[in-house]
Amino acid sequence: MTIIEAKGISQSFNSGQKTIKVLNNIDISIKRGEMIAIMGVSGSGKSTLLHILGLLNRPDSGSLSFLGNSIDFSNENLLAKIRNKHIGFVFQFYSLIGELTIEENIGLPSMISGLKPEKDRIGIIMNLVGLSLDKMSRFPSTLSGGELQRVALARALINNPDIVIADEPTANLDKASSIDIVNNMKNINSQANQTFIIATHNKDVATRCHRTLYLSGGKLGEKT
């Protein structure tokens, strides 16, 4: 079953005098349960593409269907509901809230959907991503970059989303921890049949995905 089908996606940005076409008429089709790596040099448009696939940004042109429904990018209320219910995000710079504890940060997406996050569920998710439970009542400023990355992944998983979109989820981890966290994702992916779309520079991550797509010159190509 196709979970995301994007057709003819284009996105340009103005940079000084000139316009750069970061995404040039891209098609992508993603099946439920797939784990996909998106690679490409810095500035090739990986984050831009993830923000569109995650319904955070509207492309200049192109269409997107999500779980079989055509997406109306002008309906921000509906987009927010779909994101909260169906999509978990791990952002490149974590985007955790400094004034909230780790437990509160992880529980935030369920708070937003009107549920009280259960401590048990938060504990289970923390175990899943390799975070020790004694971190629960700490604040983000007291954790390492790698631990914050795990918190961000835990927060992405709390609402049991259909899709997890992760932007450089191992950027601040050493080799062993990177492999550890991608193996965590792989287990979650196969157990819960959740779809993972991961932008990464890390070959250890990409080789553990089902397929790798390369962004270059505004085009997306499959590895051959």
Ligand X SMILES: Nc1ncnc2c1ncn2[C@@H]1O[C@H](COP(=O)(O)OP(=O)(O)OP(=O)(O)O)[C@@H](O)[C@H]1O
Inter-residue contact 160 to 114 (CB < 8 Å): no
Residue 200 beta carbon to ligand X: minimum distance, rounded to whole angstroms:
9
Q: Based on the shown chain and the rule CB under 6 A, indicate whether residue 93 belongs to the binding site for ligand X.
A: no
| Residues numbered 127-186 forming contacts with Mg ion, rule: CB under 5 A | none
Cβ 53 vs Cβ 83: under 8 Å: no
Query: Contact with ligand X (CB under 6 A): which of 6, 35, 37, 47?
Result: 47
Nearer to Mg ion, 93 or 211 (CB): 93
- Please tell me whether residue 11 binds Mg ion under the rule CB under 5 A: no
Quote the least distance from Cβ 49 to ligand X, whole Å.
Answer: 7
- CA distance linking residue 124 with residue 121, whole number of Å: 5
47 binds Mg ion (CB under 5 A): yes
Of 103, 69, 109, residue with least CA distance to 88 = 109
| Closer residue to ligand X, CB minimum distance, 103 or 168 | 168
- Residue 46 lies near ligand X (rule: CB under 6 A): yes
212 binds ligand X (CB under 6 A): no
Q: Which of 210, 186, 195, 106 is nearest to 154 (CA)?
A: 106
Beta carbon nearer to ligand X, 53 or 131: 53
Spatial separation of the C-alpha atoms in residues 88 and 164, rounded to whole Å = 5
Cα dihedral angle (201, 142, 139, 169), rounded to 10 degrees?
10
> Under a CB-based contact definition with an 8 Å cutoff, are residues 187 and 12 in contact?
no
* Interface positions with ligand X (CB under 6 A): 13, 20, 22, 40, 42-48, 92
Q: Which chain residues interact with Mg ion by CB under 5 A?
A: 46-47
